[in-house]
Amino acid sequence: MNTRSHWSRRRFVAGCALGATAFTAPAAFAQARVRTPRMTEGPFYPDRLPLDTDNDLLIVNDATTSAVGEVTRLSGRILGSDGRPLRNALVEIWQVDSNGVYLHSGSQNGRRRDGNFQGYGRFETASTGEYLFRTVKPVPYTGRAPHIHFAITPRGGDKFTTQCFVAGAAQNDGDFLLRRIADERARAALIVPFEAAPGSATGELRATFDVVLGVTPPA
């Protein structure tokens, strides 16, 4: 389906900061959660970053044509081991387009890549630890369940990589990387619903994926 939206790119990028207060929560809430399992970066981190690396993956630079797929507002918080939000953490995501193709020279079916899909984006968290992206719901490809790759680099810390999976996807049980996580609660922490966004006139989805790292935020 066509993903053209009346919500402009400029309004999306600027609006990220406006909703920050909605992500505040007591530290105890995060402490009750399982630490996010680390997962491999995989072989398809872009071998050549796009010129446009912002948090709206649907529009490349100032193009007028958007990517094809189910538009998704992907958001969450980056939290430390004590539940406090991590400020100024760099959040990177990358994923396949609606044809199952990565922004990588070695990706299968590269000729079918959607040139209107950015394929990669980055966002730096504010004081609430919030991040926000506009992207498409991931699709499966050979051997893998639908997923989105994450790399989080806390201020002054080391990069942490993981992956976010789609709740209810038929391929989840057979995904060899997801199955390696023996702890059921830890595995479940990587699987989130992609559901209808309230109030969206264009049928957009929303997904919330909080990441709890085993680090303590700096004072």
The model's confidence at residue 136, banded by pLDDT at 50, 70 and 90, is very high
- Which residues, 6 or more positions from 72, have their beta carbon under 8 angstroms from its beta carbon? 134, 135, 136, 137, 194, 204, 205, 206, 207
What dotted CATH number matches 9-20+27-212?
A: 2.60.130.10
Q: Where do the domains of the chain lie?
A: 9-20+27-212
Region 148-164: mean pLDDT is 97
With tokens 């387009």, the residue in question is: 97
* pLDDT tens track for 178-198: 999 999 999 999 999 999 999
108-119, pLDDT tens digit by residue? 889 999 999 999
The C-alpha angle 185, 151, 37, rounded to 5 degrees, equals 15
Where residue 10 falls among pLDDT bands split at 50, 70, 90? very low
Q: What does the pLDDT read at residue 26?
A: 44
- Give me the pLDDT at residue 12, please: 52
64 pLDDT above the threshold of 90: no
